[in-house]
Amino acid sequence: MTRQELNPLPEFIQHRLSMWDTLKAKYLEDLEAKLKDSIEVTLPDGKVVPGTSWQTTPYDIAVGISKGLADNCVISKVNDVLWDLDRPLEQNCKLQLLKFDDPEAQAVFWHSSAHVLGEAMERIYGGHLCYGPPIENGFYYDMFIDGDGISTNDYSVMESLVKQIVKEKQPFERLEMKKEDLLKMFEYNEFKRRILNEKVTTDTTTVYRCGPLIDLCRGPHVRNTGKIKAMKVTKNSSTYWEGNSEAETLQRVYGISFPDPKQLKEWEKIQEEAAKRDHRKLGREQELFFFHELSPGSCFFQPRGAHIYNTLVNFIRSEYRKRGFQEVISPNMYNAKLWQVSGHWQHYADNMFSFD
């Protein structure tokens, strides 16, 4: 079945938007009523720029320096805290303007890209979004889908909708909401409600909106979706809610994105070269070893591979003897207490072989 954008969209999207419109209007009223004072904004070079509290934004400061700088900024830091470029400054502060080459800015960029992917997934699958964080090389979003999963045939549909979202330059808007209102806003999504009930310990927290997507999120984000000039869906898989094999099965979609299409092309070249050097591919082609689904973490050595393996083992043993060492053989299985001390058990227990 060829996927396409749902028509009509799920009812919960309009439910969220209606609540947003009401609460955002109230926020703007409160913002307008705040006392506007003169403030001083100190830049990294020591220069002090005048501004107005609850009115001047980091983007305004960046434009005052250079329009080119403002356009290339991904995010700002206010008193060492990451801060939306369009979020008004509240008091005297130190301001840094970060570009994509900064690791923190990259994480923000990929986090925003995850929201764009999440919007596309909602509009195509109509499922319930879970977590969508940035990771070391890109980002992913998990979704609970009642029915068929996600296949590689869906990638082009997602990427096409992402391009449309980017073209629309949807602004990322921040809103602080009461927990009780958030529980009502996300009443359709059991996973967001769990996060609110189990992880949010304050009376209020924030959501971010881009287009029809409104997501529970601390932020911050890029100014608008148009900043994400190139995005690619890289892979998908199934996973469990919070890694618990007893919980619901979710669909995870991974992606990568950049502020310049040239960067994506360069990334793709690097991936192609890495694939050529993939040990799994080389081992199979050179008849050294192979992997099987019955033992995914350990390989089966073929005669050539076994010869190399044994040669290396014999070499290591000869080096032991030269240096006066004796060989011991340790157990293959240990009591869970060892891994609890090392910290492995707390993080990887679900993926470790164990028995009673």
pLDDT digits (tens, 9 = 90+) for 231-266: 999 999 999 999 888 899 999 999 999 999 999 999
* Structure-model confidence comparison of residues 294 and 76, the more confident one: 76
DSSP bridge partners of 245: none
> What CATH number labels 34-98?
3.10.20.30
Rounded mean pLDDT, 49-78:
97
Q: How far apart are CA 107 and CA 110, in angstroms?
A: 5
Q: How far apart are CA 118 and CA 140, in angstroms?
A: 9
Q: Are strands 128-129 and 138-144 parallel, antiparallel or unpaired?
A: antiparallel
> What is the arrangement of strands in the sheet containing 93-98, beginning at the earlier edge strand?
48-52, 38-42, 93-98, 75-78, 81-83
Residue 134 pLDDT level (bands cut at 50, 70, 90): very high
Q: Which ranges in the chain are annotated with CATH 3.30.980.10?
A: 11-23+104-275
3-state SS class at 129: strand
Q: How far apart are CA 353 and CA 356, in angstroms?
A: 11
Q: How far apart are CA 84 and CA 228, in angstroms?
A: 16
Instruction: Please identify which residue in the block is written with the tokens 């990334």.
Output: 267
Q: How far apart are CA 143 and CA 190, in angstroms?
A: 12
Contacts of 4 (CB under 8 A, 6+ apart): 124, 157
Residue 300 sits at φ, ψ, to 5 deg, of: -105, 115
Q: What is the mean pLDDT of the chain?
A: 95
Q: How far apart are CA 23 and CA 209, in angstroms?
A: 13
**What DSSP state is assigned to residue 9?**
P
Within the chain, what is the greatest distance between any pair of CA atoms? 81
Q: Which ranges in the chain are annotated with CATH 3.10.20.30?
A: 34-98
Q: Which CATH number fits domain 11-23+104-275: 3.40.30.10, 1.20.140.10, 3.30.980.10, 3.40.50.920?
A: 3.30.980.10
Q: Are strands 93-98 and 38-42 parallel, antiparallel or unpaired?
A: parallel
Residue 295 pLDDT level (bands cut at 50, 70, 90): confident
Closest by alpha carbon to 190, among 12, 5, 1?
12
User: What pLDDT, on the 0 to 100 scale, is given for residue 18?
Assistant: 97
* Structure-model confidence comparison of residues 3 and 254, the more confident one: 254
